[in-house]
């Protein structure tokens, strides 16, 4: 018992985690831990993609406000959207949103195991309807935007 007390008293908080190994090596994690490994990098990109999602939400809110303020304001808003900087930003944000959607749909089956007749439904059966709905809604929106008036 006395030995244990000495070990704990002489050590930092970390070492106090064990009574049996007074000396060990613990590597510190670098701030750039996510750069070294492809899987970690895709994770960080997935997390960052939420900024792109937020960006589109804010943009849509501004678009709605311009729409409410009359045709002149809306025309000004539309012309501003055509600036090369905003086109580039939106293109990047779009790529991120697509990435976000795909990774989200692929993650869905793991978070929500669907059971039918006591058996777990295969993962693609949960992901597939999401993709199908995505395609249908996208096609509908494309039709709305591209049809000749």
Partner 1 sequence: MADKIVLEIARYAPDRDTEPSFQKFEVPLRKEWVVLDALNYIKDKVDGSLTYRWSCRMGVCGSCGMMVNGEPKLTCATFLTKYGNGATVRIEPLRYFPVIRDLVTALSDFLVKLQKVKPWLIHPNQPPLSAGEFLQTPEQLDLYKQFSMCINCTLCYAACPVVGLDQDFVGPAALALAQRYNLDNRDEGAAERLATLAHPDGIWGCTFVGECTRVCPKHVDPAGAIQQYKLTAALDWVTSLVLPRGHKDANQGAAHD
Interacting residues with partner 1 (CB under 8 A): 14, 17-21, 23-27, 29, 33-34, 36-37, 39-40, 43, 47, 107, 110-113, 118-120
The DSSP code for 26 is -
**18 or 60: CB nearest partner 1:** 18
Cα(83)–Cα(80) distance, integer angstroms: 6
Based on CB atoms, which residue is closest to partner 1, 14 or 148? 14
Name the strand (E) or helix (H) holding 66. helix 38-68
Q: Which is nearer to partner 1, 37 or 73 (CB)?
A: 37
Work out how close the CB of 41 gets to partner 1 at its nearest, in angstroms, rounded to a whole number: 11
C-alpha 112: how far from chain center? 18
Phi and psi torsions of 115, nearest 5° = -115, 135
Question: Least CB distance from residue 46 to partner 1, whole Å?
Answer: 9
Q: Which residues pair with 116 in a beta bridge?
A: 119
Quote the least distance from Cβ 128 to partner 1, whole Å.
Answer: 18
- Name the minimum Å distance from CB 86 to partner 1: 31
Q: Which is nearer to partner 1, 113 or 122 (CB)?
A: 113
To partner 1, the closest distance from the beta carbon of 54 in angstroms equals 18
CA–CA dist 130, 106 (Å, integer): 9
Nearer to partner 1 by Cβ, of 65 and 110: the residue is 110
First CA to last CA distance, the chain: 87
Rounded CA separation 92/88 (Å)? 6
């Amino acid at each position: 018992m006395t030995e244990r007390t000495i070990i704990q008293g002489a050590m930092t908080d970390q070492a106090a985690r064990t009574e049996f190994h007074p000396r060990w090596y613990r590597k510190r994690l670098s701030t750039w831990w996510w750069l070294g490994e492809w899987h970690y990098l895709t994770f960080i990109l997935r997390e960052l993609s939420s900024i792109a999602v937020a960006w589109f939400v804010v943009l849509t809110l501004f678009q709605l406000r311009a729409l409410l303020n009359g045709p002149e304001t809306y025309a000004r808003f539309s012309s501003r959207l055509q600036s090369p900087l905003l086109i580039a930003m939106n293109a990047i944000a779009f790529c991120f949103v697509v990435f976000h959607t795909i990774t989200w749909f692929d993650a869905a089956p793991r978070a929500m195991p669907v059971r039918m007749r006591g058996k777990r439904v295969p993962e693609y059966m949960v992901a597939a309807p999401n993709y199908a709905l995505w395609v249908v809604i996208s096609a509908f929106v494309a039709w709305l935007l591209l049809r000749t008036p």
